[in-house]
C-alpha cells in the first residue's frame, strides 16, 4: 500500500513541477462565456474534481453549474448512462474524495454514507433539492436508488449550501435527475440495458424521452435482483481462533428492486419553466445478519412514492432577480417480518408509514452597481411517522409529528474583479416535535402526549481567492447541527426508551485548501490537483446507554474531533491514457467525558483511504483498472473489535463492436478474491463478474 501512495504522490508533484500557470491562462480567457449576465453575477469557474469512473461522462468537462462558485469543497460525478452496467450509487460514491461507505453485504444490501468522519445521520440527502432523509431514522439507504435516471451526483463536503433546507454536520449529497434523451424535434429517444452476472444478479432498464414543442417528456423503469449467495470466510464468532474458521455461503441475502420515474416539463408565459416529477421504488429482500450468526427468515419491504413540482419563473429586473419554487409530497411504507424471532428474539411484524410534505422558495438577487449577490431560501416541511405492529399483538400508533421551518440567507462580496469572493450565510431553523397517544374511541381525536419546540441559528463564513486562472484558494468556517430523530426522541416501544429532552447535535467545521487547474501541463492535458486540510469538532453527540436490563436510553454526552487531509488529482496523458486518484488521511477521535471512550478512534472511520484509476481509451473500446485501499478500522466505540485493511482491484472493459448506439460492458470486481467484512462483521463478496448490453436509439 505504501508504494501505491508514494506513486500517487509522485504523480501529483511530477505534474505540478512541469505545470505552468500561464499554460492555461489563454485558454481560460478564451473560454469565458459570451452570454450577457448581470454586472456582478459571478462567473462560473472550473474548480471541481471529476471522479473518473466508468460511469463518469468525460473528464472534467465544463458544465455551467452554480456549484462551481462555492467556497466549499464540492465533488461532482457526471453519470454516463450509455456505459452504466451493474454500477450503483454505492460503487460510485465509495470512490469519491472524503466519502466512506458502510455496507451490510454485497450488491443491493443496506448501505449508508458518511463524509469526513461524520455519522450517516449527519449527512443530508436530496433528489433535485427535495429532502430524502426521514425524521424517524435520519439515514438514507443508498441501495434504494438506481443510477439509470440520474445525470449527476453533487457532494458538498462539510457544509450545507443554500437551496437545501436542513443543516448537515457532515455535508450534503444531491442526486440530479437526467434530462430527456429524446431528439429536439418531434420523436422519441429510447435507451435500455440488460445486465447480469455473479450471484444471480440481473438488471434491466428502459428509458424514453422526447421534446415535443413546449413539452419535454421523460420516463424510466428499471428492475434489479440478486440472490446474494456468495461464499465468505466464517470465523464462527471467534476472531482470535483461526482453527474453527470455515467457508460458508450467504443465506437470506436476496433482494428485488423496481424503480419508476417520470417527468414532464414545459415553458409557460409569465410562469416560466414548470415541471412535474414522480419517483417511486419498491424494494424487497432478506435480512441475513452478521456472517457468524446468519438469519434465515427475517424480511424487509420498503416502498416510496415521491411527487414534486418545480417552478422557475423568468428572471426579473433584467436578470437581477431569479426566483425558484418547489412543492413536494412523499409517502413511504416499511414492512418488516420476523416470524422466527431471528432479530428481535421474539416473533414480530411491523407495517410503518412515513409521510413528508412541504415547499420552499429560493430567490437569487444580483443588485445593480454593487459587487454583491444574495441568496434567500425558506422552506416549510411537515413529517409524520405512524408505526403499526401485528406481532406479538396488533397495535397502531402513537403518531410522531414534526414541523420545521428553515430560513437561510447567503451573501457574497466580489472584490478585485471577482478574484476574491467573500461569503457569509446565516441559517435559522424552528422545529416542533409532537407525540400522540391513540384515542380510547375512534371518534375522539388523538391525544397530544408531548410537544417539544426548539430553534437553531448557525452562521458560516468562507472565501474563494483566485489570483491566477489556474490557482484557487478556498477556506470555510461554519456551525452546523442535526436535530434528533423520532427514534432517539420517542424510542421504538421496545428495547429503546426515548428521551424527549435531547438537544440537537452541533458541530464546528473548518477547512482550507488549494486547487490547481493549469489546463495543459507539459504533455498532460486537463491536469487537476486539489489539497484540503480539515478540522471539525462535534458536541452533544447522541449515544445510547443501558437504562435497565432490557432497554437503552439516548443521551447527549458524546464529543468528537476529526482532523484530516484530502488529496485529489487527475490528468489526460498522451496515447489515450487517463490517470486519476484520491487519498484521505483521517484522524477521528472520541473526546467524550467517558473514560472507556475517551481517546479512542471513532468506529468505521479508517485512517487511510485511497483510490487510483488508470483508463485507456480507443475509438471502439476502453479499458479501466481501478484500485481501492481502505485501512483497518474499529467496529465499536470500545476499540476492541477491528476489521483489517483491504485492497481491491477491478477491471472494466467497454466495447462498441456492433451497430451504432450499441455497447457491451464487461466488469470484474475484486480480482484477487479478497474476503473481507464491513459493519458488525457483515461479509462482503469476493471475486465477481458482470456483463451488460446497452443500446440507444
**Tell me, what's the pLDDT at 236?**
79
Instruction: Name the band, by pLDDT with cuts 50, 70 and 90, for residue 405.
Output: very high
Q: How does DSSP assign 516-558, residue by residue? A: EEEEEETTEEEEEEEEEEEEEEEEEEEEEEESSSS-EEEEEEE
Lowest-pLDDT choice from 281-295, 347-361, 516-530, 565-579: 281-295
The overall average pLDDT reported for the chain is: 83
Burial class (CB in 10 A: 0-12, 13-18, 19+), 346: exposed
Lowest-pLDDT choice from 119-128, 319-328, 483-492: 483-492
Most confident of 182-191, 254-263, 483-492: 254-263
Q: Is the pLDDT at 357 greater than 80, yes or no?
A: yes
**Tell me, what's the pLDDT at 436?**
62
Q: Is the pLDDT at 677 greater than 70, yes or no?
A: yes
**Tell me, what's the pLDDT at 290?**
81
Q: Is the pLDDT at 214 greater than 60, yes or no?
A: yes
Instruction: Name the band, by pLDDT with cuts 50, 70 and 90, for residue 39.
Output: very low
**Tell me, what's the pLDDT at 622?**
92
Instruction: Between 93 and 391, name the one with better pLDDT.
Output: 93
DSSP, collapsed to helix, strand or coil, labels residue 367 as: coil
Residues 6+ apart with CB under 8 A from 68: 44, 45, 46, 47, 48, 74
**Tell me, what's the pLDDT at 452?**
82
Instruction: Name the band, by pLDDT with cuts 50, 70 and 90, for residue 446.
Output: low
Q: What is the mean pLDDT of residues 33-55?
A: 38
Q: Is the peptide bond before 398 cis (omega within 30 degrees of 0)?
A: yes
Instruction: Between 243 and 83, name the one with better pLDDT.
Output: 243
DSSP-derived letter for residue 252 is S
Residues 6+ apart with CB under 8 A from 332: 134, 302, 303, 304, 305, 353, 354, 355, 356
Q: What is the mean pLDDT of residues 574-594?
A: 94
Cell numbers for 520: 495543459
Q: Which fold has domain 2-447+459-494+513-696?
A: Maltoporin; Chain A (2.40.170)
Cα 98 to chain centroid distance, Å, stands at 11
Cell numbers for 686: 469476493
Cell numbers for 295: 438469519
**Tell me, what's the pLDDT at 562?**
96
Q: What is the mean pLDDT of residues 442-467?
A: 80
Instruction: Name the band, by pLDDT with cuts 50, 70 and 90, for residue 198.
Output: very high
**Tell me, what's the pLDDT at 23?**
33
Q: Is the pLDDT at 375 greater than 80, yes or no?
A: yes
Residue in 687, 676, 514 with CA at minimum distance from that of residue 606 = 676
**Tell me, what's the pLDDT at 82?**
43
Domain boundaries along the sequence of the chain: 2-447+459-494+513-696
**Tell me, what's the pLDDT at 258?**
96
- What is the b/e burial string over 540-579, where b = at least 16 CB atoms within 10 angstroms of the residue's CB? bbbbeeebeeeeebbbbebbbbbbbebbbbbbbbeeeebb
Q: Is the pLDDT at 441 greater than 70, yes or no?
A: no
Residues 6+ apart with CB under 8 A from 11: 569, 579, 581
Spatial distance between the Cα atoms of 433 and 490, rounded to a whole number of angstroms: 10
Spatial distance between the Cα atoms of 642 and 551, rounded to a whole number of angstroms: 26
**Tell me, what's the pLDDT at 161?**
87
pLDDT digits (tens, 9 = 90+) for 626-670: 999 999 988 888 898 888 899 999 999 999 876 788 889 999 999
pLDDT digits (tens, 9 = 90+) for 5-19: 444 443 443 343 333
Instruction: Name the band, by pLDDT with cuts 50, 70 and 90, for residue 246.
Output: confident
pLDDT digits (tens, 9 = 90+) for 297-322: 889 999 999 999 999 988 777 778 99
Phi, psi at residue 88, to the nearest 5°? -135, 175
Residues 6+ apart with CB under 8 A from 302: 141, 144, 282, 283, 332, 333, 334, 335
Instruction: Name the band, by pLDDT with cuts 50, 70 and 90, for residue 48.
Output: very low
Instruction: Name the band, by pLDDT with cuts 50, 70 and 90, for residue 679.
Output: confident
Cell numbers for 359: 415547499
Percent of the chain with pLDDT over 90: 50
**Tell me, what's the pLDDT at 68?**
58
Print the SS3 string covering 208-237.
Answer: EEEEECCEEEEEEEEEEEECCCCEEEECCC
Residue in 607, 566, 569 with CA at minimum distance from that of residue 583 = 566
Half-sphere exposure of 365 (CA within 13 A, CB side): 12
Spatial distance between the Cα atoms of 257 and 223, rounded to a whole number of angstroms: 6
Q: What is the mean pLDDT of residues 609-638?
A: 92
Amino acid at each position: 500500500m505504501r508504494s501505491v501512495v508514494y506513486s500517487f504522490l509522485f504523480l501529483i508533484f511530477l505534474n505540478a513541477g512541469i505545470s505552468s500557470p500561464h499554460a492555461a491562462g489563454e485558454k481560460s480567457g478564451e473560454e469565458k462565456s459570451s452570454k450577457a449576465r448581470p454586472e456582478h453575477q459571478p462567473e462560473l469557474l472550473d474548480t471541481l474534481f471529476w471522479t473518473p469512473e466508468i460511469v463518469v461522462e468525460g473528464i472534467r468537462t465544463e458544465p455551467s453549474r452554480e456549484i462551481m462558485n462555492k467556497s466549499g469543497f464540492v465533488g461532482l460525478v457526471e453519470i454516463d448512462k450509455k456505459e452504466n452496467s451493474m454500477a450503483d450509487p454505492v460503487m460510485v460514491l465509495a470512490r469519491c474524495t472524503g466519502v466512506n461507505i458502510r455496507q451490510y453485504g454485497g450488491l443491493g444490501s443496506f448501505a449508508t454514507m458518511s463524509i469526513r468522519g461524520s455519522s450517516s445521520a449527519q449527512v443530508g440527502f436530496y433528489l433535485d433539492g427535495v429532502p430524502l432523509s426521514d425524521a424517524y431514522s435520519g439515514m438514507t439507504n443508498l441501495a434504494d436508488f438506481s443510477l439509470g435516471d440520474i445525470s449527476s451526483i453533487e457532494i458538498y463536503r462539510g457544509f450545507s449550501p443554500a437551496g437545501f433546507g436542513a443543516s448537515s454536520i457532515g455535508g450534503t449529497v444531491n442526486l440530479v435527475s437526467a434530462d430527456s434523451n429524446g431528439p429536439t424535434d418531434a420523436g422519441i429517444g429510447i435507451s435500455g440495458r440488460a445486465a447480469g452476472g455473479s450471484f444471480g444478479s440481473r438488471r434491466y432498464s428502459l428509458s424514453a424521452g422526447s421534446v415535443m414543442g413546449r413539452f419535454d417528456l421523460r420516463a424510466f423503469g428499471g428492475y434489479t435482483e440478486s440472490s446474494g449467495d456468495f461464499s465468505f470466510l466464517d470465523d464462527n464468532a471467534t476472531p482470535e481462533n483461526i482453527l474453527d474458521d470455515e467457508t460458508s455461503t450467504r443465506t437470506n441475502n436476496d433482494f428485488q428492486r423496481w424503480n419508476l420515474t417520470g417527468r414532464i416539463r414545459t415553458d409557460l408565459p409569465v410562469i416560466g419553466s414548470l415541471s412535474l416529477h414522480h419517483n417511486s421504488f419498491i424494494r424487497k429482500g432478506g435480512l441475513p445478519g452478521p456472517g457468524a450468526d446468519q438469519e434465515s427468515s427475517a424480511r424487509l419491504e420498503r416502498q416510496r412514492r415521491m411527487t414534486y413540482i418545480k417552478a422557475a419563473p423568468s428572471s426579473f429586473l433584467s436578470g437581477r432577480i431569479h426566483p425558484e419554487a418547489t412543492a413536494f409530497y412523499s409517502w413511504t411504507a416499511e414492512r418488516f417480518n420476523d416470524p422466527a424471532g431471528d432479530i428481535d428474539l421474539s416473533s414480530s411484524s411491523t407495517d410503518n408509514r412515513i409521510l413528508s410534505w412541504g415547499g420552499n422558495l429560493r430567490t437569487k438577487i444580483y443588485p445593480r452597481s454593487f459587487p454583491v449577490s444574495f441568496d434567500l431560501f425558506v422552506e416549510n416541511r411537515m413529517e409524520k411517522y405512524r408505526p403499526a405492529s401485528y406481532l406479538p399483538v396488533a397495535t397502531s400508533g402513537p403518531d410522531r409529528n414534526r414541523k420545521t421551518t428553515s430560513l437561510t440567507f447567503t451573501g457574497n462580496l466580489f472584490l478585485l474583479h471577482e478574484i476574491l469572493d467573500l461569503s457569509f450565510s446565516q441559517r435559522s431553523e424552528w422545529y416542533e416535535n409532537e407525540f400522540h397517544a391513540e384515542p380510547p374511541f375512534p371518534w375522539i381525536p388523538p391525544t397530544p402526549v408531548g410537544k417539544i419546540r426548539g430553534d437553531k441559528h448557525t452562521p458560516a463564513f468562507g472565501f474563494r481567492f483566485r489570483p491566477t486562472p489556474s490557482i484557487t484558494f478556498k477556506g470555510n468556517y461554519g456551525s452546523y447541527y442535526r436535530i434528533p430523530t423520532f427514534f432517539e426522541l420517542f424510542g421504538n416501544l421496545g428495547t429503546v426508551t426515548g428521551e424527549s429532552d435531547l438537544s440537537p447535535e452541533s458541530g464546528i467545521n473548518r477547512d482550507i485548501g488549494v486547487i490547481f487547474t493549469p489546463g495543459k501541463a507539459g504533455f498532460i492535458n486537463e491536469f487537476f490537483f486539489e489539497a484540503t486540510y480539515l478540522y471539525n469538532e462535534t458536541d452533544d453527540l447522541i449515544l445510547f446507554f443501558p437504562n435497565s436490563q432490557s432497554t437503552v436510553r439516548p443521551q447527549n454526552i458524546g464529543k468528537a474531533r476529526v482532523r484530516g487531509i484530502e488529496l485529489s488529482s487527475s490528468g489526460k496523458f498522451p496515447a489515450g491514457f487517463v490517470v486519476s486518484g484520491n487519498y484521505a488521511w483521517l484522524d477521528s477521535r472520541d473526546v467524550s467525558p467517558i473514560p472507556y471512550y475517551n481517546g479512542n478512534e471513532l468506529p468505521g472511520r479508517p485512517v487511510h483511504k485511497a483510490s487510483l484509476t488508470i483508463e485507456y481509451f480507443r475509438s471502439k473500446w476502453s479499458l479501466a483498472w481501478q484500485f481501492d485501499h481502505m485501512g483497518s478500522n474499529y467496529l465499536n466505540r470500545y476499540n476492541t473489535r477491528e476489521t483489517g485493511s483491504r485492497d481491491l482491484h477491478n477491471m472494466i472493459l467497454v466495447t462498441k463492436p456492433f451497430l451504432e448506439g450499441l455497447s457491451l460492458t464487461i466488469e470484474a470486481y475484486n480480482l484477487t478474491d479478497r474476503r473481507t467484512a464491513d459493519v458488525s462483521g457483515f461479509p462482503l463478496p469476493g471475486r465477481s463478474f458482470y456483463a451488460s448490453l446497452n443500446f440507444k436509439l
